[in-house]
A and B are shown apart, each in its own frame.
Chain A
Amino acid sequence: GDSVTQMEGPVTLSEEAFLTINCTYTATGYPSLFWYVQYPGEGLQLLLKATKADDKGSNKGFEATYRKETTSFHLEKGSVQVSDSAVYFCALVRGSNYKLTFGKGTLLTVNP
């Protein structure tokens, strides 16, 4: 079945550091890929998405590129802020049923 594997957390960075959170997936066909963010006490929010190979999703300074050859969708940000502290989930959707398959999440803590 479909699956998503994220790098283990927690990840702790200083403000303005570079962020990478690795995500790889297993799925047949051509899934759409997503990054969701969950701030403390809040629900999941869509951060960015990519629907086909080589697409780059971007939002709020975060970027991720859909790499079919490596089945990856790594999340990056050049300079993190304290307000980026949250749990980040990589997810995929395959087919028309729009069932999201999530990774386990990566907790990011950014210190001032």
Chain B
Amino acid sequence: EAGVVQSPRYKIIEKKQPVAFWCNPISGHNTLYWYLQNLGQGPELLIRYENEEAVDDSQLPKDRFSAERLKGVDSTLKIQPAELGDSAVYLCASSYTDREAFFGQGTRLTVV
């Protein structure tokens, strides 16, 4: 069974540019998460979807970050415009509603 797939693995952009990350969850998983992992820190939840509905986006900086999960499957996380402080690893995870989460390899973003 394929795991959670994220792309790209690495992204380098200049500040003030937009960037998007894509996540394909494990087939059949109805819950999808985006986590932010700063260097030397544990991941922190940005947003959680149940199917296509964002049920917890309290930690998502909505002035520059947006996310969508079309048809309750794939998801995209966007930053516009990016700032230097956004350099981090963005992790996607999926699960059945009350089961353990499986993580993708992450996208490492560098803003220069």
Chain B residues contacting A49 (CB-CB under 8 Å) are 100
Interface-located stretch among A11-19, A37-45, A59-67, A70-78: A37-45
Chain B residues contacting A45 (CB-CB under 8 Å) are 103
A97 touching B55 in the complex, CB below 8 Å, given contacts A43-B4, A43-B104, A43-B105: yes
B41 and A97 within 8 A (CB): no
Chain A residues contacting B41 (CB-CB under 8 Å) are 104-105
- CB of B97 within 8 A of chain A? yes
Q: Which of B45, B98, B106 contacts A100 (CB 8 A)?
A: B45
Q: Which of B42, B56, B105, B106 contacts A89 (CB 8 A)?
A: B42
Say which size band chain A's interface belongs to: 20 to 34
- For window 97-112 of B, CB contacts with A under 8 Å fall at 97-106
B97 and A103 within 8 A (CB): no
- CB of B91 within 8 A of chain A? yes
- What 18 additional pairs, Cβ within 8 angstroms, besides A89-B42, A100-B101, A102-B44? A34-B100, A36-B103, A43-B91, A43-B103, A43-B105, A44-B91, A44-B103, A45-B103, A46-B100, A46-B101, A96-B98, A97-B48, A98-B95, A98-B97, A99-B48, A99-B56, A105-B40, A105-B42
Please name 30 pairs of A and B residues whose Cβ atoms are closer than 8 Å in the assembled complex, sorted by A: A4-B42, A34-B100, A36-B103, A42-B105, A43-B91, A43-B104, A43-B105, A43-B106, A44-B43, A44-B103, A45-B103, A46-B100, A46-B101, A46-B102, A49-B100, A89-B43, A97-B55, A97-B56, A98-B48, A98-B98, A98-B101, A99-B45, A99-B48, A99-B56, A100-B43, A102-B44, A104-B41, A104-B42, A105-B40, A105-B41
Show the binding face of A for B, using Cβ within 8 Å: 4, 34, 36, 41-46, 49, 89, 91, 96-100, 102-105
